[in-house]
Amino acid sequence: MSEVTFYVFQPFKRAAKGNRIIAGDAVQVPNRRSAERAVEALRGGLVGALAFSRTGDPTEGEWGDAELIAQNGLIPEEFLSASLPW
């Protein structure tokens, strides 16, 4: 069993129509600090962002719960609930 930790930056933007906040494409980043910096920056017209990590064994497909690392700006409620959708 070989556990690894993945760090992910999840951006959020306004939908083209309406005033909804939608998730952009999640991006894997190399480490925790890179994830934190990406969230702090909020570049490219983003209205919000969060970073999280997941640790597990990819060969077995077993993953622990996501750990929220940082957040900034507007985040849809379903991404901050107790049952994280990641």
CA 60 to chain centre: 23
d(CA 48, CA 62): 29
Task: State the greatest distance between any 2 C-alpha atoms of the chain, in Å, as a whole number.
Answer: 47
Would residue 83 count as lying in a domain? Answer: no
Mean pLDDT, consecutive 10-residue stretches, the chain (86 aa), reads 92 91 96 96 91 94 93 91 54
Name the DSSP letter for residue 45. Answer: T
Backbone angles phi, psi at 75, to 5 degrees: -125, 130
What range does the domain containing 67 cover? 4-77
pLDDT of residue 42: 87
Would residue 22 count as lying in a domain? Answer: yes
Give the global pTM. Answer: 0.85
**CA quadruple 62, 65, 74, 44: dihedral sign:** negative
Would residue 69 count as lying in a domain? Answer: yes
Number of domains into which the chain is organized: 1
